[in-house]
């Protein structure tokens, strides 16, 4: 009697398992859910990064930072270059500000900046306490460049890099200070619509001056570029 009861229990369990398996195999909604969960990662896959910027990014050498030993601003020249009495800072201000007014010393004394880093509008006025409201950012921070290949450049090449319009943008002073010497892995503009152009410019500068990127930096730039397939390098 006891053995018969055990057999009936085992048979009942087997019947339940077979029934559940049959339901699983025949129910299309269950099969679809399983199929979707196995083929879709927990986080949606990023779109493929394409375009000139992505292509050139993949051409850059990837390796770790070199020591910062020996870095000073003077390694990139003694301040701004001057061409025919106009220094680089004022040339970039004149390029990036609208309605700019220049005095007889080739100094931009006023204008309006549509700041690419924050998306805000800054009314610029030259003065002891107001000039710093708009600063000229080295898109590839000079200390970052130093640790990723610029040590191997000549002083003349580094001076050219530091004054290259490709490398420079007029931006909100506070945002520039917050960026400090960060690369794309540690800092991106708060103005998200500008991020694609920002990293594309960094890629262009690093390609032009044979600088490299770290693995984390490349991942960060790839992530940004995946949101804007076809992103071109700045002209």
Q: Higher pLDDT residue, 173 or 7?
A: 173
Question: Residue 168 is encoded by which pair of tokens?
Answer: 């420079």
Please determine, for residue 83, whether its predicted confidence score (pLDDT) is greater than 50: yes
Q: Confidence band (pLDDT; 50, 70, 90) for 35?
A: very low
Specify the pLDDT at position 19. Answer: 53
Q: Confidence band (pLDDT; 50, 70, 90) for 24?
A: very low
In Å, how far are 9, 161, 177 from 229, measured between CA atoms? 62, 28, 30
Q: Higher pLDDT residue, 104 or 17?
A: 104
Mean pLDDT of 41-54: 67
Task: Give per-residue burial for 84-97: e unless 16+ CB within 10 Å, then b.
Answer: eebbbbbbbbbebb
Specify the pLDDT at position 50. Answer: 86
Each residue's pLDDT tens digit, 107-148: 999 999 999 999 999 999 999 999 999 999 999 999 999 999
Specify the pLDDT at position 48. Answer: 82
């Amino acid at each position: 009697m006891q053995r018969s009861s055990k057999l009936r229990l085992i048979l009942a369990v087997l019947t339940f398992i077979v029934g559940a398996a049959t339901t699983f195999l025949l129910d299309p909604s269950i099969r679809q859910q399983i199929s979707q969960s196995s083929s879709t990662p927990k986080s949606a896959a990023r779109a493929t990064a394409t375009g000139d910027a992505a292509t050139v990014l993949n051409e850059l050498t990837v390796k770790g930072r070199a020591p910062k030993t020996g870095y000073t601003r003077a390694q990139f020249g003694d301040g701004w270059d001057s061409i025919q009495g106009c220094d680089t800072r004022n040339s970039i201000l004149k390029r990036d500000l609208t309605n700019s007014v220049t005095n007889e010393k080739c100094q931009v004394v006023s204008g309006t900046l549509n700041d690419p880093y924050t998306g805000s509008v800054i009314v610029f006025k030259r003065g002891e306490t107001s000039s710093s409201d708009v600063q000229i950012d080295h898109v590839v921070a000079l200390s970052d460049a130093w640790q990723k290949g610029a040590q191997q450049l000549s002083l003349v090449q580094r001076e050219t890099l530091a004054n290259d319009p490709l490398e420079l943008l007029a931006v909100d002073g506070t945002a520039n200070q917050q960026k400090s010497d960060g690369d794309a892995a540690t800092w991106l503009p708060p103005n998200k619509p500008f991020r694609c152009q920002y990293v594309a410019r960094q890629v262009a500068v690093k390609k032009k001056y044979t600088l490299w990127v770290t693995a984390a930096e490349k991942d960060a730039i790839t992530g940004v570029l995946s949101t804007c397939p076809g992103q071109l390098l700045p002209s």
